[in-house]
Amino acid sequence: MSKRKCAVQKNPFRVYILRCSDDSFYTGITNDLPRRLRQHSAGTASKYTRSRLPVSLLYSELHPSRSVALKREAAVKKLRRRQKESLIKLLSR
């Protein structure tokens, strides 16, 4: 009998959207959001946000696996700004 990994992970992945100081959006994924936000704030997380500090978290959503989160991240990145703003508004209701 083979052992299977449980489908639910201890640290599920999150897709998140940040607002940068130039009012642009940055979308990424992580399985440790507090750590990733600290990295962004310190300027060590991504080249894009490093030059656009400070950043603020606008949105995040949970996903059961890295694969699902990567697909969702790609879909969110393809959205137009207005569509991203609508997504963010849905969360704040």
* pLDDT tens-digit profile, the chain (93 residues): 444 444 445 779 999 999 999 999 999 999 999 999 999 999 999 999 999 999 999 999 999 999 999 999 999 999 999 999 999 998 766
Q: Which domain holds residue 26?
A: 13-92
Q: Supply φ then ψ for residue 13, to 5 degrees.
A: -85, 150
Is 1 a domain residue? Answer: no
H or E element at residue 81: helix 81-92
Is 8 a domain residue? Answer: no
CB 53 within 8 A of CB 2: no
63: domain CATH number? 3.40.1440.10
Cα Rg for the chain, rounded, in angstroms? Answer: 15
Give me the number of domains the chain comprises: 1
pTM for the model = 0.85
